[in-house]
Amino acid sequence: MEKLNNTQAAEYLGIEPRTLHNWRCLRRYKIPYLKLGSKVIYRKSDLDAWLATKEVHE
């Protein structure tokens, strides 16, 4: 299980770290994350699953 910090997760998603932070804090998107004390950790598998829900079929 690959774990990513906020900066790594944002880079993986192709967005700015601050944007990912805002999405999490404002609950704009329900991206799964783990909170260990003050650390926020994202599992790469969770990000992949979340991205799959955003796929558009036209």
pLDDT, one tens digit per residue, over 11-22 is 999 999 999 999
Tell me: the pLDDT tens digits for 6-56?
A: 999 999 999 999 999 999 999 888 899 999 999 999 999 999 999 998 888
Per the domain annotation, does 27 fall within a domain? yes
Note the pTM of the prediction, 2 decimals.
0.86
Write out the two tokens for 50. Answer: 């979340």
Q: Please indicate, yes or no, if residue 58 is contained in any of the structural domains.
A: no
What domain range includes position 31?
3-53
* Res 54: pLDDT: 84
Separation between Cα atoms, residue 18 and residue 11, nearest integer Å: 11
Instruction: Count up the domains in the chain and report the number.
Output: 1
Indicate whether 39 belongs to any domain.
yes
Q: Is residue 45 part of a domain?
A: yes
pLDDT attached to residue 11: 98
